[in-house]
Amino acid sequence: SSQNLPEEFAEAAQQLKKEAPRIQFGKIDVTHQKALRKEFNIREFPTVKFFMDGKREDPIDCKGVRQASTFITWVKRRTGPSTVLINSTDQAEAIINANDLAVIGFFKELHNDSVEVFCETARDVPEMPFGMTASKDACVKYGIQKNTLVVFQKGKPVHSEVLEDDRKSKLELTRIIKTFTLDLVTEYNLETSVKIFDVPVENHILLFTPMNSETFHEIYENYKSAAAEFRGKIVFVLVNTNETRNGRVFEYFRIKDIDVPAVRILNLTSDAKYKMPADEVTVENLNEFCWSYLNGKAKVHVSSEEIPEDWDKMPVKVLVGKNFNRIVF
């Protein structure tokens, strides 16, 4: 969390002092340095910016980095090569098996636009090791025919993206890969909320349910199955309605006890909320809901109180969410 960020930052500074003394770390308390706060448009805390080549203009934002080891990787990938060059199948296997998660780019040749996009993506995802190879043997071993990015988890390929035909952007690739730093389904709490919002995916689906209910296990398995299908597109979150500390989340979505289990989608950019039309949390219903949302067919959900019977008796009308649009517009 942001509380121990200064400590992690200091630890990274300490380690890099030995390895890369040219990289300097500094901290600013902007409550006293108001001019600097304004100049660099600092809105949230802590904010980390990286200045390169002695230039004061256009520093690079270092977002979502929380641990000393990740800071070090982030800085190293900005100042040197961002991926490891793999020359053999053995080398590829070593990287894939040494890490819980690894991202490997398989290419026909190492000088083209796809390689550039891959290397730029690696700079933005310091949480994972990145390697790239043009070794024919490695491509044959992993059954790769085109320029492809593959995410490996516990030594097995779990996701692949072809890099040349549809020219996926760096942002799209970053989003997809970053979702693998979260579990398939992440239970919401104070610790994980920071991690959830650090992943730059704007679509979140939330399942509200008591975790001690008789049907929980079945519902949860269905939710996990759907999560695997939409990985990289929608972040799947579980909210335990028995946990009183989650009260603010229920309020925000206007979830009452009688509503659970309930499923909502939230678009973080527009703040629009969507309610799953079906009541039962089945794989089929979840898939249908997610696809209708991604295809732009889902209706925005306006949570509202019921319309009072005497809403129009008096000169000043009583408006609630459900009749607001119809009466005002």
DSSP letter (8 states) at residue 266: E
Domain 4-79 and domain 185-295 have a common topology: yes
Q: Rounded to 5 degrees, what are φ and ψ at 19?
A: -80, -40
- Percent of the chain, pLDDT > 90? 58
Rg of the chain in Å (alpha carbons): 24
Q: Which residue has the tokens 């020359």?
A: 87
* Exposure on the CB side of residue 314, measured as CA atoms within 13 A: 8
Structural domain spans, the chain: 4-79, 84-179, 185-295
Question: What pLDDT does residue 194 have?
Answer: 82
| Alpha-carbon separation of residue 101 from 79, 127, 244 (angstroms) | 23, 9, 34
User: Is CATH 3.40.30.10 what the domain over 185-295 is classified as, yes or no?
Assistant: yes
For 278, the 3-state DSSP assignment is coil
Cβ atoms within 10 Å of 273's Cβ, excluding its own: 17
Looking at 230-275, list the stretches that DSSP marks H as alpha helix, in order from N- to C-terminal side.
Answer: 247-253
Name residue 148's beta-bridge partners. Answer: 106, 162
Sign of CA dihedral 171, 172, 174, 178: positive
- In angstroms, the CA 51 to CA 58 distance is 8
Residue type present at position 210: P
Judge contact between 128 and 98, C-beta under 8 A.
Answer: no
Predicted confidence (pLDDT) per residue in 121-139, tens digit: 999 999 999 999 999 999 9
* pLDDT per residue of the chain (329 residues) written in tens, 0 to 9: 456 888 999 999 999 998 888 899 999 988 899 999 999 998 888 889 999 888 999 999 988 888 899 999 999 999 999 999 999 999 999 999 999 999 999 999 988 889 999 999 999 999 999 999 999 999 999 999 999 999 999 999 989 899 875 567 888 899 889 999 899 999 998 888 888 888 888 999 999 999 999 999 999 999 999 999 998 899 999 999 999 888 888 888 888 877 889 999 999 888 889 999 998 999 999 999 999 999 999 988 876 566 677 777 878 877 766 666 666 65
Question: What pLDDT does residue 1 have?
Answer: 47
Question: What pLDDT does residue 236 have?
Answer: 97
Find all residues with CB under 8 Å of 131, minimum gap 6, and list them.
83, 84, 85, 86, 91, 92, 95, 102, 103, 104, 105
Could you say which of 1.20.1090.10, 3.30.460.20, 3.40.30.10, 3.40.109.10 is the CATH number of the domain covering 4-79?
3.40.30.10
Find all residues with CB under 8 Å of 186, minimum gap 6, and list them.
192, 195, 196, 235, 236, 237, 238
Question: What pLDDT does residue 262 have?
Answer: 93
Predicted confidence (pLDDT) per residue in 56-80, tens digit: 999 999 888 888 999 999 999 999 9
CATH code of domain 84-179: 3.40.30.10
Cβ burial of 245 (10 Å; 0-12, 13-18, 19+) is exposed
